[in-house]
Amino acid sequence: MVDGNKTKQVAEFLLKARQQVQACPPVSAEFGITDIQEAYAIQEYNTQQALKQGRRLSGRKIGLTSVAVQKQLGVDQPDFGMLFTDMEYMDGANIQASGLIAPKVEGEIAFVLGRDIERADISLAELIRSVDYVLPALEIVDSAIENWNITITDTIADNASAAAYVLGKTPVSLDALDLALEGMVLRKNHQIASIGVGAACLDHPLYACMWLARTMIEVGRPLQAGDVLLSGALGPMVAVAQGDSIQLDLTHLGQVSCQFV
């Protein structure tokens, strides 16, 4: 049973940490948040507050797509978080490091939908038809929890540690792409910092999107045409700070970059 007063208290605790750019203790320990349903209720509370303030949803992110990371946190499925329009940056953007607590960057593949997804039993073929195009993407993750000392409930409550994302500018159709074999090289300050491949993301990025599409129906926030889906990291995330430059190169999808200033 989710306690509404506790949900509000913890949500405001996390929101204050974000607003003050000051890390807070893990809510799993501070407030005894150990139930995943309770953690998603906290995330939803802050989502509702953001929407009331006029922020707009632009899509969703999927996290914990690596089996190794799932085992580390003691779970057997991914998690999700909300993306807002004010979190999106264009290729080559300067991102203010002072607005982030302890940022890290992941190289990903972004899917942009051309159709609403309304069925919980959506098939893979229907999902593919719903995708308008894909783009290379950088996700900036940033935990409100001090020292990234997180459990699964900490990251879920904290909107799956979502902070910002950068999209490439050349849309690519899914036609003739094998995203499981899409290679990734992530460079930090012109040095290779992370290497990966599409298969690292739940065996295939489309499988990650399938999980996300079905889950969004279940929680009452179905995906819509125009939504951006960040399908999960293709390789290890990389810590960044002011002065760092990041460049992602994907085999067929091209390049995207940003700088932290």
Q: What is the DSSP string of the chain?
A: ---HHHHHHHHHHHHHHHHHT--B--HHHHS----HHHHHHHHHHHHHHHHHTT--EEEEEEE--SHHHHHHHT-SS-EEEEEEGGGEEETTEEE-GGG-SSEEEEEEEEEEESS----TT--HHHHHHHEEEEEEEEEEEE-SBGGG---HHHHHHTGGGEEEEEE-SS-B-STT--GGG-EEEEEETTEEEEEEEGGGTTTSHHHHHHHHHHHHHHTT----TT-EEE---SS--EE--TT-EEEEEETTTEEEEEEE-
State residue 3's pLDDT score: 78
pLDDT digits (tens, 9 = 90+) for 183-231: 999 999 999 999 999 999 999 999 999 999 999 999 999 999 999 999 9
The CATH number of 4-260, from 3.60.20.10, 3.90.850.10, 3.40.1390.10, 3.30.1490.190, is: 3.90.850.10
Q: What is the pTM of this model?
A: 0.95
State residue 254's pLDDT score: 97
Give me the residue spans of the domains in the chain. Answer: 4-260
pLDDT digits (tens, 9 = 90+) for 103-121: 999 999 999 999 999 999 9
pLDDT digits (tens, 9 = 90+) for 151-188: 999 999 999 999 999 999 999 999 989 999 999 999 99
Structure tokens at 22: 């000051």
Predicted confidence band of residue 91 (pLDDT cuts 50, 70, 90): very high
184 neighbors 211 (Cβ within 8 angstroms): no
pLDDT digits (tens, 9 = 90+) for 40-76: 999 999 999 999 999 999 999 999 887 766 776 677 7
